[in-house]
Structure 1
């Protein structure tokens, strides 16, 4: 059986109409080659409210959306615990599927999805697609040009005092599947794999500063809740290329002056913008010019927003090409993150079982319809 051929615009059906769906709807409406034709939610009234505001979009139940012949790709925006079941339902219905991160709550849930998609000649895509913007892609172009020589090392850090300071119901950030590594790590590790290639081995340590935290905003302000996961994780990723990345992910830091991502090479250093954004300033310092200098944009989808990964996948399906924000990449990233937590728990390095090809660069001036 060959891969499904799509002619004309690729038609998207969204399952899950929470806050993030609004961002996707806004950006997908601006992108060529794709159109949202249906939305579904456990609360059908929420889907209907969107349909009432967006001409051409129908409100359906999840089952109706999966069975609808007018839907080519299911965009899964449900909560993380529902990612795998919704992906599976979409694939069994013969639909390509793209979802928010993570691909699934763990590797045991995620791996069968890749097999199911491959068996049925279907695609899986997964956020983050921020790495397809001009920020990470300009850094990628600099590395590919050899601007800092051979990359030998990198640092990646995300620190905050905790999401309970702003989120009215932050409990899930501190339950299994949460914590700083699994919450924000996908953005950083996806960017690192895009820049430096896959990871073969990890080592690390993990801890937490307190067993209880307090909600600071909303109707539950003042209420305490338990912390069940590490809230401070640090480690080293050994890339297949030989480069070593030092990572720090924490919900235990009140203030710090740390780079989001820096890459160090034999001839210089590269400062990479926040991987949770699509653009940002890329700076370089070299052996002959030690002062940091901003690089001109050299790659990536300009003006990108949430959903550019869906459009990139839709074009790739139409043209029979690999898509960049792939299920294989998302699985490898999840494998790296889980392996790092295992290395910390076991107090010894852990080999990463999976690998993935470094995604193709997004050239300067590219459009999701033609890149």
Structure 2
């Protein structure tokens, strides 16, 4: 190959489309040119992406607090909060170009909603052959749950409550059911969440029915009431593991009740860093790979509750985020020939 041909190959670009939040509550698809992958990079064609309603609703509503806006940047985000911003972090696709060992592989990436993109291969997670690509969009959510488990360290015979039966709480309870616990309850104020608990084979309880004196309480409801209940359900000297992101919500707690009297601890579980008990022996990449491996369990399909085509994402997402309920919304992408 001549020098001129090498230069032309290096300069070749591809046309891609990406979803951008343009202003509060609105979004659109924008075209962009992406370069041919360089050394150590891969060109990924997206098969599916996932919408994590809680976080993406905060982004769409322009509610990311200025104080933590820089910390809340997704790995491949473009633009700044409140917008315009290209956001998202649950993407599954096929490697079309790159190192030989990656070509043709199904991979997960913490990438925004986009049909074609280039990323370093060390930021890709290999999806096992027996995990369907559609289910694999949950890799980033399972990672959040794994980090919380590493943070809390459930032990044999523990009494555990998960407060909040949304996407994160439900996925966490699905993983916890494999532990040899003394007791596990999924607690939610919505009686319809009983169906979820029955599906994942976990005991359900309304707040007034939930059992107290727990060794660990995981809070996932992103509500004042849920956090207050979590303190009430925790046993003396035990931990409440906080997974919710309240964004700009003000939180009011009755700290004069259970918190001081029973020497409770509220501990943050934030996925940006590996939980401290594993931080020196696990990397973020290893944590993501563990999440992908856990998705061999078909029960996780429970959390894929709706789907749209990528070209319809702007209109669909605007309507979706106005509606309560539901878990992970799946975005399906067209094949090249389509």
Q: Normalization by structure 2: what TM-score?
A: 0.34
Q: Normalization by structure 1: what TM-score?
A: 0.32
Considering fraction of residues, name the structure with more strand: 2
